[in-house]
Amino acid sequence: MGIQGFYSMFQHLQKTVGLDSLNGKWLIIDGNFVIYKYGIGIRKMQAINNKRQADAKLSNHVFTVVYFSHMLMQRNIKPFWVFDGINVSDMKTKIITKRNDRITTSKEKLEEVEGEDYIKHYKKSLKITSDMYNECKHALDLMGVAHMSAFGEADADCAMLSGVNNDICGVYTEDSDILMFGGECIFSGIDFETNTIKSITKNDTFTYLKYLSGNVLTYEKYLKFMIIMGTDYCAGIKGISKNVLFKFYINCNMDTNEMFEKIRENKNKITIDDTEYKLNYQRSLPMKIDDIYQLYSNATPEFDAVDIQTYLDTKKEPDIERLKLFLTRCNFDKPFILNIIKNISDDRVV
């Protein structure tokens, strides 16, 4: 999801900070990521408990957005959820088709397997439908929580939204593509027990690679290196670690044309620090680099920044009674509902 090998290459640049450092700030939430991440965790527990509800109406998605929003708001962090829209770029169509095929296969496997295999396919069978999206948005409306739908995939809009004003601290996601689309900081690994969260910035990753390059790396060459690492839009170069790949990139004057020419001349074999590597990559990768670079560098928001600012400045009141009714219909237990309601509006009688 995002740049392949990004977190392993830049793990030392991730910082763990207290949630109190986000106090009073807006946090953009990558809706798809959070629902899949936490919804899958819930599905795993259901599978372990042998609750085979693959065809039943589940409310994991609603629980996820309600619980996650509730926990942030308790800490005076203001969530702003962004969900994928219905328009998908041509580059992403094939990827989504393959993803849907894997979901279908996993659903079919549920009838044939047991034990750990059942849990594995049960987790993979989650697909967010338009009805599920609508239920999530309805729950957020009733809670008085801000949200919007992107024109297409949420990556670019999450990145653009994070720069609307200084009260937005970043994007909660594991999709490093958001940094390539212009976002500055992404958060992940939130822990509500220790009240900590992990963060990494584009500036830190760029500065690190620029140092390794002898301070000659430009932002264009930085982006192109991210692309040859591999993205959601193309598979990257395989058979070599990302750190060694960057050394090779430097040796090729950070010129992708020179890089692929050397790879072809040596029949996909290169030698770095006296070690030989046999590389693999899709034949179409060299032709895709410029197109993907343009996609990242020319991303423009599908929203009006003034409208967004006005929306964020407008206080959204929760609808307590309708929220109670909706959560009850979602089969959440009474203590959970009462706790949510109490913390959303302490001055109301539940």
Q: Which two tokens stand for residue 219?
A: 């932002």
Bridge-based pairing of strands 269-272 and 168-172 is unpaired
pTM: 0.86
- 203-216 residue pLDDT tens: 999 999 999 999 99
Average pLDDT over residues 55-66: 75
Average pLDDT over residues 132-143: 95
SS3 296: helix
The rounded distance, in Å, linking the Cα atoms of 256 and 236 is 12
SS3 337: helix
- pLDDT value of position 50: 43
> Do residues 188 and 46 touch, judged by C-beta distance below 8 A?
no
- pLDDT value of position 245: 97
> Do residues 201 and 208 touch, judged by C-beta distance below 8 A?
no
Give the pLDDT band of residue 45 (cuts 50, 70, 90): very low
Average pLDDT over residues 32-60: 60
pLDDT at 51 over 90: no
**Which of 33 and 54 is assigned the larger pLDDT?**
33
Q: Which two tokens stand for residue 260?
A: 């692929």
The rounded distance, in Å, linking the Cα atoms of 183 and 202 is 8
pLDDT at 9 over 60: yes
**Which of 288 and 1 is assigned the larger pLDDT?**
288
- 154-204 residue pLDDT tens: 899 999 998 888 899 999 999 999 999 999 999 999 999 999 999 999 999
- pLDDT value of position 90: 56
Quote the mean pLDDT of the chain. 86
CATH of 218-297, one of 1.20.140, 1.20.120, 1.10.10, 1.10.150: 1.10.150
Lowest mean pLDDT among 270-274, 311-315, 338-342: 311-315
Average pLDDT over residues 325-336: 91
Task: Express as a percent the part of the chain with pLDDT over 70.
Answer: 82
The rounded distance, in Å, linking the Cα atoms of 108 and 216 is 52
**Which of 300 and 117 is assigned the larger pLDDT?**
300
Give the pLDDT band of residue 44 (cuts 50, 70, 90): very low
SS3 274: coil
- Spell out the long-range contacts of 198-205 with Cβ–Cβ below 8 A and sequence spacing 24 or more: 198/14, 198/15, 198/16, 198/17, 199/14, 199/15, 199/17, 199/170, 200/10, 200/13, 200/14, 200/15, 201/13, 204/10, 204/13, 205/10, 205/13, 205/179
The CATH code of the domain at 14-201+304-340 is: 3.40.50.1010
Task: Express as a percent the part of the chain with pLDDT over 90.
Answer: 62
pLDDT at 74 over 70: yes
- pLDDT value of position 106: 65
Please list the residues that pair with 306 across neighbouring strands. Answer: none
- Spell out the long-range contacts of 239-244 with Cβ–Cβ below 8 A and sequence spacing 24 or more: 239/277, 239/278, 239/279, 239/280, 240/270, 240/272, 240/277, 240/279, 241/5, 242/5, 242/8, 242/9, 243/9, 244/272, 244/273, 244/275, 244/277
All structural domains of the chain with their residue ranges: 14-201+304-340, 218-297
Lowest mean pLDDT among 65-69, 120-124, 260-264, 281-285: 120-124
Q: Which residues have a Cβ under 8 Å from the Cβ of 77 and sit 6 or more positions away?
A: 19, 22, 23, 24, 25, 27
- 108-123 residue pLDDT tens: 666 676 666 665 656 6
Average pLDDT over residues 230-252: 95
The rounded distance, in Å, linking the Cα atoms of 139 and 147 is 11
pLDDT at 149 over 70: yes
**Which of 306 and 26 is assigned the larger pLDDT?**
26
